[in-house]
Amino acid sequence: MNFYGKDIVILDGARTPLAHYGGSLKDVHPTDMSVHVAKEAMKRSNVEPDWIDHVVWGNASQSSGDAQYLARHICLKAGCPITVPALNVGRICGSGLEAIVTAARMLVVDDEYDFILAGGVETMDQMPFVIRNARDGLRYGKGVIEHWVDLNFIDTYNGLRMALTAENLVEKYKIPREEQDEFAYRSHMLAKAARDSGRLAKEIIPIEVPAGRRGETKLFGVDERIRDDTTVEKLSKLRPAFKKDGTVTAGNACPITDGAASVVVTTMEKAKERGLKPLARLVSYGAMGCDPDIMGIGPVPATKQALQRAGLKLEDIDIIELNEAFAAQYLACERELGNDRDSTNVNGGAIALGHPTACTGVRISLTAMYELRERSEQYGLATMCIGGGQGMAGIFENVT
């Protein structure tokens, strides 16, 4: 099974641990975070930097002043030749998966490309505060400070916060608060088990981060947002965060986090020529729009498109990573897709680990591929909803 005429494979990849808002990655530049995982992805893939023909990197919110140079600086700092071009891509929550798919498309249409470095990063901690119209001067006391993080969560097309689109799904699919809290608890407990067993550690490359005011550093190597001690009872006591008498809370929604992830994409032909052992094959992808008022349902049409393109049924999929922007959003998708929960988000999801926007698509794809290898299963699906009313999905096949 090939991807538009070519056998596209992912050699290997790596990610940072995910850090909570104000946590261990708050002072790490997104370029540096990305270079760290890019180098490790190449190392695990047994690929030299001078083999790379293009760099494609996802980033949704461009939190740094030099964000327009992001992919290019990753390319140069990761040791790739100066002649190698680089591309920033953005599809909000789907940006990381978009980077992988864009790399695959490049390999399909350009015979001069053999190896492409793809990834995604989000440093939500470093999103700036903004004072608009300051360039022309403001009357005393008239300057309004806006937080870029908060602005990112509002879809100005319909005026809705992302959490309110989840509340719309609650109403449409009649999802009780108790079910959302129970699902959130599941996410934390599965993530805890995966962390304690070392399953998550296989994806992670620890990173040196600032610690203290005297230039000290520490090694950060474990996802820090998992709540070991949470219970359904504790979650049930949290107040609705976005709507009076609503059901979406800080406990059953994904937290704000920072992180980066990377993979190396090539063709099976080139992998064999170099004696490399791929991790997985990219079988197909889907990207579809949906009603922005219920943007969280986006994985449903995207998954159906990816399955149709692959000639597969959902029952053929062994491992599913369906991003948990909100428990309500996941549960609405589950009602529509009819997926088996026991094979979905088996190592926990974004409610426990976090959702660093452009990193997520690479992170959940890598998790699905690693879990396929761990279980000796065949097909994996990675899918997510996207703000503004979209969904994206990728289907991967284990080739280890």
- Dihedrals phi, psi of 235, to nearest 5 degrees: -65, -35
Contact predicate 290/29, CB 8 Å = no
Q: How far is CA 356 from CA 25, 108, 242, 307, 359, in A?
A: 11, 29, 20, 26, 5
Active-site residue flag, 385:
yes
Locate 146 and state its tokens: 């806006």
Contacts of 54 (CB under 8 A, 6+ apart): 84, 85, 86, 87, 103, 106, 113, 116, 117
DSSP assignment letter at 204: B
Q: Which residue of the set 75, 80, 93, 333 is catalytic? A: 93
Computed over its alpha carbons, how large is the radius of gyration of the chain? 20
Active-site residue flag, 93:
yes
User: Residues 36-40: contacts with CB within 8 Å, 24+ apart?
Assistant: 36/205, 36/207, 36/260, 37/13, 37/119, 37/205, 37/260, 37/261, 37/262, 38/74, 38/78, 38/117, 38/119, 38/262, 39/78, 39/79, 40/14, 40/205, 40/262
Q: Which residue of the set 75, 290, 333, 385 is catalytic? A: 385
Q: Which of 348, 181, 325, 192 is nearest to 252 (CA)?
A: 181
Contacts of 25 (CB under 8 A, 6+ apart): 16, 19, 33, 123, 125, 207, 209, 220, 258, 259
Contact predicate 71/31, CB 8 Å = no
Q: Give the whole-angstrom CA distance, residue 5 versus residue 151.
A: 41
Q: Give the whole-angstrom CA distance, residue 299 versus residue 307.
A: 12
Contacts of 350 (CB under 8 A, 6+ apart): 187, 254, 323, 324, 325, 360
Catalytic (active-site) positions: 93, 385
